[in-house]
Amino acid sequence: MKGEERAPLPIVPPPFPDERLTSWLERIADVYLVSLDGLQAHVGWVRPALELELEPVQADMVRIAQATGCSLNRLLAMTFHGLPPRYRSLLRPEAREICLVCSRGMQRPQRLRSWSFAFSFWCECHRQPLGNRDIRGASTLADSWTARRGAQILNAWAMGKDSAVVPVASVLSLLLSLARKASPAAPWELARLPPSCQRQRSFQTKHFRRTVLTSVVPEFEVAVPIYDQRLPLDISKISIAPRAERYALAIGVARVLKDPGSAIARILEFSDEQGREKIRTLIDLWPAPICSAVRLHRTCNSKRGRDDRKNDRVQIYRPT
| Residues forming the site for Zn ion (CB under 5 A) | 99, 101-102, 123, 125-126
Min CB(122)–Zn ion separation in Å: 9
Q: Which is nearer to Zn ion, 123 or 294 (CB)?
A: 123
Q: Which is nearer to Zn ion, 41 or 125 (CB)?
A: 125
Q: Which is nearer to Zn ion, 131 or 225 (CB)?
A: 131
Q: What angle do CA 197, 202, 205 make, to 5 degrees?
A: 115
Q: Which is nearer to Zn ion, 115 or 220 (CB)?
A: 115
- In sequence order, the 6+-apart residues with CB closer than 8 A to the CB of 9 are 28, 32, 43, 67, 68, 69
- In sequence order, the 6+-apart residues with CB closer than 8 A to the CB of 296 are 261
Instruction: Compute φ and ψ for 256, nearest 5 degrees.
Output: -65, -45
Min CB(101)–Zn ion separation in Å: 5
**21-42: burial string, b at 16+ Cβ within 10 Å, e else:** bbbbbbbbbbeeeeebeebbeb
- Beta bridge pairs of residue 117: 91
Q: Which is nearer to Zn ion, 16 or 87 (CB)?
A: 16
Min CB(23)–Zn ion separation in Å: 13
**208-245: burial string, b at 16+ Cβ within 10 Å, e else:** bbbbbbbbbbeebbebbbbeebebeeebeebbebbbbb
Min CB(99)–Zn ion separation in Å: 3
Task: Give the alpha-carbon dihedral of 201, 206, 212, 215, to 10 degrees.
Answer: 10
Min CB(257)–Zn ion separation in Å: 27
Q: Which is nearer to Zn ion, 98 or 175 (CB)?
A: 98
Min CB(104)–Zn ion separation in Å: 9
Min CB(121)–Zn ion separation in Å: 12
Q: Which is nearer to Zn ion, 18 or 189 (CB)?
A: 18
Give CA–CA dist 307/310, Å, rounded: 6
- Decide if 28 contacts 13 (C-beta within 8 A): yes
Q: Which is nearer to Zn ion, 147 or 216 (CB)?
A: 147
Min CB(128)–Zn ion separation in Å: 6
Instruction: Compute φ and ψ for 260, nearest 5 degrees.
Output: -60, -35
Q: Determine the residue type at 116.
A: S
